[in-house]
Amino acid sequence: MWWLSLAKASSFAPTQATKIAAEWDSLYQFLLVSSLVACALLIGGMIYFVTKYRRKTNHDKTPYISHNSMLEFIWSFVPLVLFLMMFVWGWSLYYDMRTVPSNAKEVHVYGQQWLWQFEYKNGKKLNNEFVVPVGVPVKLIMTSKDVLHSFYVPSFRIKQDVIPGRYTDLWFQAEKLGEFHVFCTEYCGLDHSKMLAKLKVVPLEEYETWLATTTELTGGPGAQIYNDKGCVACHSLDGSPKVGPSFKGAFGKNSMMDDGTEVKVDENYLRESIVNPNVKTVKGFPKAVMPSFQGQLSEEDLTAIIEFIKNQK
């Protein structure tokens, strides 16, 4: 259709990596072009009539016009048909987007300040990265561990809020191989803009081999907690500061707090910082950002994560 090619030429939309994306773009471009045409007709008509029928002399009289049935019918009926078309088109596309195929592979998604965690049925877990097969429907079952987030894959034209205390879902069928961006599109605090993930689309056989290989975490149970509880989002292991101080070489040194006091980083300081993180804030880092892990970690877990931090020399 002519309007489609016109809109395509001026489109800044990202790659269409799903069938839905192409359909979504067609609808969006129809809305855009029909709005532009309507705008040109309305504003153009207004300018034309204002010029043509302006009062030219002081003796001009406004003619008495009551109505014109044909004209009024046309300007009501044509928009009605257009709006109904948009409604039916939009509804059927939305229906497709919300109807998950029964053979969809399920992946669990957890949003957390500030990372995305993915978990497969076989227990495989990843942070800020996940892999799906091409040409196969995938369903994401999503929830949040803290505040509202929103899961958005621009190339797939799918987006859904991720809400604490309930599950929301999304489905897609990737038609293109490659890597795609995942964004968080709900402002969720300090590092919202860094809450990004990578979505890799690979051939089915490659996906199955990948899924079957378990990634061994070195560092024992502490490393597991570091990844699962999301410490990794804010505390690096390579010395680079993120939202919070790096764990590298942290243990045993004296650290300057933002109230000017100096604190020795020992087991009890680390425990306090995990359970009650806002009591002491290291100088140069934002205050009241870290959530408390009170009640979320057992004594054994606390020991494991503290031992893990101690080992980051």
Q: Whose Cβ is closer to ligand CUA: residue 109's or residue 265's?
A: 109
Q: Whose Cβ is closer to ligand CUA: residue 168's or residue 311's?
A: 168
Q: Whose Cβ is closer to ligand CUA: residue 113's or residue 312's?
A: 113
Tell the smallest beta-carbon distance from residue 85 to ligand CUA (Å).
35
Which amino acid, residue 95?
Y
Helix and strand counts by DSSP (H, E) for the chain: 7, 12
CA dihedral angle for residue 214, residue 218, residue 222, residue 224, rounded to 10 degrees? -20
Which strand ranges, in their side-by-side order, compose the sheet holding 149-153? 129-133, 197-202, 178-184, 149-153, 158-162
Q: Whose Cβ is closer to ligand CUA: residue 29's or residue 227's?
A: 227
Tell the smallest beta-carbon distance from residue 180 to ligand CUA (Å).
18
Which H or E run includes 199?
strand 197-202
Q: Whose Cβ is closer to ligand CUA: residue 111's or residue 277's?
A: 111
Tell the smallest beta-carbon distance from residue 152 to ligand CUA (Å).
10
In the complex, the residues that contact ligand CUA under the rule CB under 6 A are: 111, 149, 184, 186-188, 192, 195
Q: Which residues pair with 116 in a beta bridge?
A: 111
Tell the smallest beta-carbon distance from residue 185 to ligand CUA (Å).
7
Tell the smallest beta-carbon distance from residue 166 to ligand CUA (Å).
16
Tell the smallest beta-carbon distance from residue 186 to ligand CUA (Å).
5
- Count of C-beta atoms within a 10 Å radius of residue 146: 15
CA atoms within 13 A on the CB side of 207: 19
Q: Whose Cβ is closer to ligand CUA: residue 111's or residue 222's?
A: 111
For residue 49 the two structure tokens come to 């009539």
Q: Using an 8 Å Cβ cutoff, are 246 and 239 in contact?
A: yes
